[in-house]
Amino acid sequence: MAISAELVKELREKTGVGFMECKSALQESNGDMEAAITILRKRGLASLAKKSGRETKDGLIGAYIHNGSKIGVMLEVNCETDFVARNPDFQTLVKDLAMHIAASEPQFIRKEDVTEDVLARECEIYTEQARATGKPENVLAKMVEGRMSKFYAEVCLLEQPFVKDPAISVRDHIAAHIQKIGENIQVRRFVRYKLGSE
């Protein structure tokens, strides 16, 4: 059975679980939403949504300097306790995220962080590009929506394909660590430096 992106999105919103896990659960349940939620709960994944609301007051500041010392990254990743901040898995995650930021140049952490002026500009560009194709008006909105999804995957850290495993997003990579470690994890902020640029 083919599972629509809308159905996967709905399950993600209900559970807070990553895209691939949601798609797998929906395929296993033949598209039955309640059965998919049960499958995720049995796997221990649906509890991520509960963890995502918990406060993150501890964590680490990580840094990465790329070979040749031309690119550097500093970021703050938060967790709930200092115990987890000292956990080797959490520390590896912070290093991996810093390396990812150096390689992929995100401008924002999440979609909600994209500024109104950037959002308006991109929507206008994609709408004009869609109109130039001559397709009917009812198709244009879907075209713009698809192009905006690609835009978010280029500029938003959590939406980007993870550099060490492009089959998953950074969001899904963090979600796997939340599941493994058992605490909420949030990227709070980052700065990417490139020699000679502002």
Count Cα atoms within 13 angstroms, Cβ side, for 141: 2
Confidence of residue 141 (pLDDT cuts 50, 70, 90): confident
Residue 52 vs residues 45, 47, 130, 151: alpha-carbon distances, Å: 12, 9, 37, 25
Higher pLDDT: 48 or 96? It is 96
Is 10 within 8 Å of 33 (Cβ atoms)? yes
Position 5 scores a pLDDT of 82
Which range is least confidently modeled, 91-100, 113-122, 128-137? Answer: 128-137
Q: Is the pLDDT of residue 62 over 90?
A: yes
Where is pLDDT greater, at 62 or 184? 62
What is the torsional sign of CA 80, 84, 86, 91?
negative
pLDDT tens digits, one per residue of 157-173: 999 999 999 999 999 99
* pLDDT at residue number 48: 53
- Non-local (6+) Cβ contacts of 198 within 8 A are none
Average pLDDT for residues 179-184, to the nearest whole number? 84
pLDDT tens column, 104-120: 999 999 989 999 999 88
pLDDT of residue 1: 66
Q: Report d(CA 109, CA 153) in Å as an integer.
A: 11
**Cα–Cα distance measured from residue 187 to residue 157, given in angstroms and rounded to the nearest whole number:** 9
Q: Residue 132: which pLDDT band, with cuts at 50, 70 and 90?
A: confident
Residue 198 — pLDDT band, cuts 50, 70, 90?
A: low
Better-predicted residue by pLDDT, 111 or 101: 101
pLDDT at 99 over 70: yes
